[in-house]
């Protein structure tokens, strides 16, 4: 539940969590690329003649899109749905929750949040930097998905304060 005592995670801790996530996700993608494509970066996949549908589709690098774009998105979404955080956010004891209720995010919110990363990155990352100035420490991707990143450990709030709030 979101209360006046909820602590939102700021830019510095979120940047640290992002770096921690890069440290496990990047090697995963590189290893899968090597196992599937035989090198650390997948190149254009040649389709058999009988599968060629359109000349433009023949040029799409399906393996690269699958391994370097879709797979990381699915892994991150899985972590958000299963743990309400990626390993980096778990490391800093934070969770991604619905901004209004404080409950776990829905799959739709997860998709919107992930797609919102691209919006946040647009314009030299201003959407990520927005966390610095926002009252609830929301980036544009959080605002799009109606999510917040909060400190998971509510034990830092004295019980007498919680008792007053919940009466």
Q: What's the pTM? A: 0.80
| DSSP annotation string for the chain | ---TTPPBP-HHHHHHHHHHHHHHHHHHHHHHHHHHHSSSS--PPPPPGGG---HHHHTS-HHHHIIIIIHHHHHHHHHHHHHSS-HHHHHTTEEEEETTT-SBPPHHHHHHHHHHHHHHHTTTTHHHHHHHH-TT---HHHHHHTEEEEES-GGGS-HHHHHHHT-
Could you state, in order of their start, the residue ranges of all structural domains in the chain? 11-165
- Which has more pLDDT, 1 or 142? 142
pLDDT in tens, 40-83: 676 655 555 555 555 554 445 677 778 888 999 999 999 999 99
pLDDT in tens, 122-157: 989 999 999 999 999 999 999 999 999 999 865 555
pLDDT exceeds 50 at position 167: yes
pLDDT exceeds 80 at position 160: no
């Amino acid at each position: 539940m979101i209360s006046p005592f909820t602590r939102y995670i700021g830019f510095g801790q979120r940047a640290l969590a992002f770096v921690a996530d890069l440290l496990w996700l990047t090697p995963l993608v590189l290893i899968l690329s090597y196992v599937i494509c035989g090198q650390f970066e997948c190149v254009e996949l040649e389709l058999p003649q009988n599968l060629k549908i359109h000349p433009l589709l023949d040029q799409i690098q399906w393996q690269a899109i699958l391994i370097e774009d879709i797979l990381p998105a699915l892994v991150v979404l899985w972590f958000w749905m299963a743990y309400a955080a990626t390993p980096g956010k778990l490391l800093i004891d934070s969770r991604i929750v619905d901004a209004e209720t404080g409950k776990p995010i829905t799959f739709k919110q997860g998709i919107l949040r992930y797609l919102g990363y691209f919006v946040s990155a647009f314009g030299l990352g201003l959407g990520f930097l927005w966390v610095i100035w926002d009252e609830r420490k929301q980036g544009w991707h959080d605002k799009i998905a109606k999510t917040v990143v909060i400190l998971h450990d509510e034990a830092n709030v004295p019980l007498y304060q919680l008792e007053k709030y919940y009466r």
